[in-house]
Amino acid sequence: MSQLEDKVIVVTGAGAGVGKAIAIEAARQGAKVIVNDLGVNIDGSGGSAGPAQQTVDEIIAEGGTAAANTDSVAEWDSAQKIIQQALDLYGKIDGIVNNAGNLRDVIFHKMTEEEFDAVLRVHLKGSWNVSRAAAPHFKAQEGGAMVHMTSTSGLIGNFGQVNYCAAKMGIVGMSKAIALDMERFNVRSNCIAPFAFTRMVGTIPTDTPDGAERMKINMRLEAAKIAPFTLALLSDSAKDVTGQIFGVRNNEIYLFSQPRPIRSAHTSEGWTVQSCVERAIPMLKGSFFPLDKSRDVFTWDPV
């Protein structure tokens, strides 16, 4: 059964990896797809219409319907053009997958403003731009769905990725706010933290035993495995699912917790700096989280 029959879906960063797999499977499920990709390398170099068109060619070869788009999600006007292309070609927009991404991995005290801004512009601002461009159309038709790609780097933490972690955690907050604001219009917004071997994962250094071992595990994480759950969230069958954070890794699907108070310290006298040091911090300390990185939490082999 086709879950997305006659729907129009925009997938950003769909020239390769996770985005490409999502676009191809969306077409298989009956959707008309706008395949967006700048065609640049993950470090920002290069640039070509090729990757987006290659994905489109594969979709058409299978009998699907798709069109390539090379506009930048990082620019407001360009993001508007992405959504407008869907409207011009197919008459509507039903769902978006904010998947486009880049990396500028640098340890915090050496990171430049450009390296920080470059990642925020694509991941966080790009997700906002495309979502905001689609929002009036979703509101008018009283329906629509968004899936935003977050990361365990933001949810848990990672080394040398202040920009990426900030962007991916920002996407979580953005998605929840969209879900709250747009609920009255039957518009849904969810996040997925994908585990997959892609152009971005391929930049992980392998010049240490730990790095080499991580790469062996990462190479077994199939990008195509992310597509089914992503598209399930865009389907009408998931009309009651919104404001959630999921993870997908090969054959596993996770539901992540969201921040809630887990312990409190109270005094009837009011806190002072001294009493905070002597009483509040010791009372809370037993529930502190360790300084984990993503790989400390997800250390076992994927299923």
- The string of pLDDT tens digits covering residues 17-57 is 999 999 999 999 999 999 999 986 656 665 556 999 999 99
d(CA 193, CA 255): 10
pLDDT tens across 168-227, in order? 999 999 999 999 999 999 999 999 999 986 555 555 555 655 555 555 555 568 999 999
CA pair distance 1, 277, nearest whole angstrom: 61
What's the pLDDT band for 64 if we cut at 50, 70, 90?
A: very high
Question: Catalytic pick from 90, 116, 128, 164?
Answer: 164
Rounded CA-CA distance 173/193 in Å is 14
254 is catalytic: no
Q: What is the pTM of this model?
A: 0.91
Domains, the chain = 8-258 (3.40.50.720)
Is 123 in contact with 101 (CB distance < 8 Å)? yes
What pLDDT shows up at residue 47? 57
